[in-house]
Structure 1
Amino acid sequence: MPITIADVAARAKVSKTTVSRVLNGKGELDESTAARVRKVIEELGYVPSSRAVGLARGRTRVVGMLVPSLTWPWIGEVLQGAVDVLETERYGLLLFTCNRGEESMRQFGAQVSAKSFDGLLVIEPEGTLDYIATLHARGLPVVLIDDRDHQPGQIPSVGTTHHTGAGAAARHLLEIGRHKPLVVAGPERFGCTQQRLEGFTTVYAEAGHPIPAERILPGDFTIACGLDGVRRAIEDGIEFDAIFAHNDLTATGAMQAVLDSGRRIPQDVAVVGFDDIPMAAHTQPPLTTVHQPLREMGEAAARTLLAHFEGSPLPNRPTVIPATFKVRASTVVARTAAP
């Protein structure tokens, strides 16, 4: 049978409360009594429940993380960044998804009520922002990651520069002489979609090449929307010499549609994506893309939460980590070495 705190108390001839105080370093105790309790703990080989000790200290040393789904291609990078920080500081991670909709949220709510974690990292599942804001207002420390431009003032967040990153994509395409880009956008309801579209189209307009509405296609961040959208544009006779897709999956579908039509990448059509997920470097040809600092965003969010646990106030403005631009062979023909 496992040794319990009651066994320690009986052997040391003290109360369970006294043993608990010794374990948690709380309260004033006679040093000889504390030494006797510690000796009994060592003799019996008693190992306290980490959860029980955590609750006694007012801490679980566990961080919760709520995400829409693990099937999103960039979730893993953000998650790994957070885990790297948490494990280094000896914190655990309790992960929740919304795969089952309301049932998933009920299970999550039960863990919130049980105070199973000290704070929460959130990649916002659709329709949950008001609930998350309520939890934060009631005292649960929350940090949003990739807040989709909602930026509720009361919740700290970590994001990136969607507008600037898309502008960099536009300038690159203009520099290589592409004046008729096709844009395959993301879902309109997402703030990042609006930022990417505005950042890209503004640069083209300022360069004297405004993008007409017929060359801006709706999308949903999937391979299928890139494939089908570009196929329809080709069938409709829309002229284009470049494609800016609002994420790498969409860009992958767009590339397939271009190649299926007999056109070459990048000689006939240059293609740019957004995110720089691991597969982007392994498409054929490798995909030029805007690199989101996904792992860094996860790290920054976790550090913000842990700093708060140590007494630092949560920031009252978003933490922004700049996106960068990664040029690969989908826009620039690779140079071969001279013989």
Structure 2
Amino acid sequence: MGVTIADVAARAGVSKTTVSRVLNGEGEINENTVVKVRKAISELGYVPSAGAVGLARGTTQMIGMLVPDTAWAWAGIVQAVVETLETEGFGLRMLTWNHGEESLRRLGLQVAAKSFDGLLVVEPEGALGSITELHEAGLPVVLIDDRFQRPGFPCVATTNREGGEQAARRLLDLGRRRPLVVTGPEEYGCTRERLDGFVGIYAQAGIDLDPRSLIGGDFLFETARSAVAQALADGVEFDAVFGHNDPSAARVLAALHEAGLRIPQDVAVVGFDDVELASYTYPALTTIRQPMRDMGEAAARLLLDHVRRSPEAAPSRTILTSLVIRGSTLRPSPN
């Protein structure tokens, strides 16, 4: 038999009514009592019914944020979220998705203990169903950077297809007609959108890309290096590379240098995201700017609107991408 509210009450030394009031944020309760009840919930692993977690929110002045890890890739989003929440009098509780089901269990305990009023989520790989259930139970949730199918709750996304189109137009403007594409993971929605946009612009120019030039990747450094090496070994002719994120494109630059190719004279390179790394590669990386800070701020404000049940709360937001031109796609100087 599972843990019951009576078990929590016994562990905390309070009545079942008091536990219920803590869960639902009802009335004035001594802070020490609240702490004891939440500690008992955490120790026992008690998860209340959907109704118990969804009612009477908006009392903690805290927002939870679930990210895949604490890597630098999310720094811009997190910083914007923190700054926006602080101006609105809210704090932030960070949660990571490092341990799969164990992380999900801990998230459930945080929700059960009413540790925050709403949840921001970045890339909930393997957890979208569980996050959706929390939303349907009444927890305000906003997804940032949708790399999957559109969820059944609000999200802040960016124009991935248009970003792919912008990358293609820049390369075509340079006369590059044989691009190599190092994609992100196939299951990500952003991968499909970036690839479709890129391939579509080349098709409009009457250029069908060689299937061998479309190489599946995983957004990681070494995969991009292997992709370039394999293309060279297979004799695939290319005069440009579109990496689906900046780390991939940065590793492409290194691999091209190792192969004795000049950038951008021999091969032009475009990345995606415009993270800080893009400014420090050699040459500096042309990229599609995915405005991380704008996305973080928009997500935080959207979530607060839903937490406050504002009648003007938007269902979702889309933030536009833009092309940032740097040395990796500069036009060669005339001799």
**Bin for the TM-score computed over the shorter chain:** 0.7 to 0.9
1:320 aligns with 2:314: no
| Partner amino acid, structure 2, of 1:105 | L
CA contact (8 A) 1:74 1:294 kept: no
SS of the residue corresponding to residue 253 of structure 1 reads helix
- The answer to which of 291-300 and 56-65 deviates more is 56-65
Q: String of CA shifts for 1:117-162, please: whole Å, max 9, x gaps.
A: 000101132111110110000100001101114112x300001000
- Taking structure 2 as the reference length, what is the TM-score of the superposition? 0.81
Query: What residue ranges of structure 2 are gaps of 5+ in the alignment?
Result: 1-26, 39-55
Q: String of CA shifts for 1:217-250, please: whole Å, max 9, x gaps.
A: 1100001111111011111111000000000111
Q: String of CA shifts for 1:153-176, please: whole Å, max 9, x gaps.
A: x30000100000110010010001
CA contact (8 A) 1:272 1:288 kept: yes
Q: Which residue of 2 aligns with 1:76?
A: 75
SS of the residue corresponding to residue 120 of structure 2 reads strand
1:279 deviation in Å? 0.7
Q: Which residue of 2 aligns with 1:93?
A: 92
Q: Percent identity?
A: 49
The alignment's C-alpha RMSD in Å is 2.4
Change (3 A) 1:313 1:96: farther
Q: Which residue of 1 aligns with 2:50?
A: none
Q: Which residue of 1 aligns with 2:155?
A: 157
> What CA distance in whole angstroms lies between the structure 2 residues aligned with 1:63 and 1:227?
39
SS of the residue corresponding to residue 208 of structure 1 reads coil
> What CA distance in whole angstroms lies between the structure 2 residues aligned with 1:176 and 1:169?
11
> What CA distance in whole angstroms lies between the structure 1 residues aligned with 2:304 and 2:323?
30
Q: Which residue of 2 aligns with 1:106?
A: 105
Q: Which residue of 1 aligns with 2:64?
A: 64
Change (3 A) 1:314 1:145: farther
CA contact (8 A) 2:265 2:332 kept: no
1:209 deviation in Å? 1.2
1:314 deviation in Å? 7.5
Change (3 A) 1:298 1:112: same
Q: Which residue of 2 aligns with 1:8?
A: none
> What CA distance in whole angstroms lies between the structure 2 residues aligned with 1:277 and 1:125?
21
1:317 deviation in Å? 3.9
Q: Which residue of 1 aligns with 2:132?
A: 133
> What CA distance in whole angstroms lies between the structure 2 residues aligned with 1:235 and 1:51?
68
Instruction: Write the mapping of 1:196-207 to structure 2, written as runs, cut at 5 A.
Output: 196-207=194-205
| Partner amino acid, structure 1, of 2:60 | T
Q: Which residue of 1 aligns with 2:253?
A: 255
> What CA distance in whole angstroms lies between the structure 2 residues aligned with 1:51 and 1:232?
63
1:97 deviation in Å? 0.1
Q: Which residue of 1 aligns with 2:192?
A: 194
Counterpart of 1:266 (choices 249, 256, 264) is 264
| Partner amino acid, structure 2, of 1:67 | V
Number of positions where the alignment pairs a residue of Structure 1 with one of Structure 2: 288
> What CA distance in whole angstroms lies between the structure 2 residues aligned with 1:57 and 1:138?
12
Change (3 A) 1:253 1:57: closer
Change (3 A) 1:58 1:247: closer
> What CA distance in whole angstroms lies between the structure 2 residues aligned with 1:291 and 1:50?
48
- Taking structure 1 as the reference length, what is the TM-score of the superposition? 0.80
> What CA distance in whole angstroms lies between the structure 1 residues aligned with 2:135 and 2:110?
15
1:318 deviation in Å? 2.7
Q: Which residue of 2 aligns with 1:117?
A: 116
Q: String of CA shifts for 1:276-311, please: whole Å, max 9, x gaps.
A: 110101100000000001111110111012122333
Q: Which residue of 1 aligns with 2:146?
A: 147
- The answer to which of 194-203 and 305-314 deviates more is 305-314
1:58 deviation in Å? 5.5
> What CA distance in whole angstroms lies between the structure 2 residues aligned with 1:51 and 1:219?
51
1:210 deviation in Å? 1.3
| Partner amino acid, structure 1, of 2:308 | E
CA contact (8 A) 1:156 1:315 kept: no
Query: What residue ranges of structure 1 are gaps of 5+ in the alignment?
Result: 1-25, 28-47
